């Protein structure tokens, strides 16, 4: 067993180049794969792709709310059929990235997608946060997901989009081991490019994505999560000695350290909260690093007041649990 080099403190600004450069070089963009000209003189090419997450976003958080699950059910019941009709009307082929659990819940949907001339790609087992997993578990789930899709639709996927575009330091190696042709999870260019791993060309094509071209941030947020005291909370499972700057929040945990960088519901509600906080009390100390126990909130604009109306019964001003706020202390 080798002894890791001693880099002193773990603060990134103290890292020597030998520490940060391999991190950056692990997965990089290689040569551009943009053709010299698009077919038929087209000015550009557009790829339409859809992630059929359905109920998996609720399940992967360890939640069982029928309300939340119904949001996912809508995707199967109304969303995908509508999209398939639209694509068919315009004769546009597309790719659907499908978690294995979605495919098991809706096998006929996947067969309809393939039957309509579209592609199905790997999209995790249950939309797990793969970058939080031990490498062997990430590998096992990615491979089992491909097996399950093949079993259901009769053809083996050749591409992957990681769940939530969450890409670990091991994802590319697993993708290469599986012999996949492409990934669609990274964001280093507008145009396709070849992926490099540790500086070496891999032959794996990257079809880059970007949150601002995705409708998910606009529709799937839980903007009033912080105002619902009945919402179930979980204790954080972090050990007390763990770094507060650890970048991997615990799945399903709603403590301040985990929700600070949590899933899509976190930043969205947090963003709104930030716009609504009118004062913050930090009992006992004025330090920024003092735990914030309560904050006074209220809508500051007519738009915010309108959004809040169905969820408020009393005065606008109230106190909120600090665990729903950007963390100031941990």
List contacts with Zn ion (CB under 5 A). Answer: 51, 53
Q: Smallest distance from the beta carbon of 80 to Zn ion, in angstroms?
A: 13
Angle at 27 between CA 26 and CA 28, to 5 degrees: 120
Nearer to Zn ion, 209 or 330 (CB): 209
Q: How far is the CB of 161 from Zn ion (least distance, A)?
A: 7
With b meaning 16 or more CB within 10 Å and e meaning fewer, what string describes 47-64? Answer: eebbbbbbbbbbbbbebe
Least distance (Å) from Zn ion to the CB of residue 111?
A: 20
Distance in Å, CB of 322 to Zn ion, minimum: 30
Q: Which residue is nearest to Zn ion (CB)?
A: 51
Closest to Zn ion by CB, 268 or 297? 268
For Zn ion, the closer of residues 51 and 183 by Cβ is: 51
Which CB, 174 or 227, lies closer to Zn ion?
174
Nearest one of 273, 314, 276, 279 to 294, comparing CA atoms: 279
Nearer to Zn ion, 97 or 325 (CB): 97
Smallest separation (angstroms) from Zn ion to the CB of 163: 5
Q: How far is the CB of 53 from Zn ion (least distance, A)?
A: 4
Do 260 and 268 form a contact (C-beta atoms < 8 A)? no
Residue (53 or 138) nearer to Zn ion, CB: 53
């Amino acid at each position: 067993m080798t002894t890791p080099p001693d880099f002193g403190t773990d603060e990134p600004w103290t890292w020597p180049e030998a520490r940060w450069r391999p991190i950056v070089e692990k997965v990089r963009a290689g040569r551009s794969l943009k053709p010299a000209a698009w077919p038929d003189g087209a000015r550009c090419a557009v790829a339409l792709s859809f992630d059929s997450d359905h109920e998996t976003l609720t399940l992967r958080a360890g939640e069982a709310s029928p309300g939340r699950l119904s949001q996912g059910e809508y995707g199967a019941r109304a969303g995908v059929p509508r999209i398939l009709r639209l694509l068919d009307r315009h004769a546009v082929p597309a790719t659907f990235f499908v978690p294995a659990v979605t495919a098991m819940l809706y096998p006929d949907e996947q067969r309809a997608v393939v039957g309509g001339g579209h592609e199905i790609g790997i999209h995790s087992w249950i939309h797990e946060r793969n970058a939080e997993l031990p490498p062997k578990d990430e590998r096992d789930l990615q491979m089992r997901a491909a097996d399950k899709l093949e079993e259901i639709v009769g053809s083996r996927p050749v591409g992957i989009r990681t769940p939530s575009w969450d890409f670990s330091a091991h994802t590319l190696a697993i993708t290469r081991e599986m012999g996949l042709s492409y990934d669609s999870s990274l964001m280093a260019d507008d145009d396709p490019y070849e992926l490099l791993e540790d500086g070496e060309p891999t032959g794996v094509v990257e079809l880059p994505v970007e949150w601002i071209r995705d409708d998910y941030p606009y529709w799937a947020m839980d903007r009033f999560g912080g105002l619902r005291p009945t919402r179930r909370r979980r204790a954080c499972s972090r050990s007390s000695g763990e770094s507060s700057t650890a970048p991997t929040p615990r799945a399903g945990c709603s403590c301040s350290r985990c929700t600070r960088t949590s899933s899509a519901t976190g930043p969205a509600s947090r963003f709104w909260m930030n716009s609504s906080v009118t004062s913050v009390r930090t009992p006992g100390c004025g330090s920024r690093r003092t735990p914030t126990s309560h904050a006074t909130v209220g809508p500051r604009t007519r738009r915010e007041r309108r959004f809040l109306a169905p969820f408020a019964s009393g005065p606008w001003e109230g106190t909120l649990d600090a665990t729903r706020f950007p963390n100031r202390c941990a």
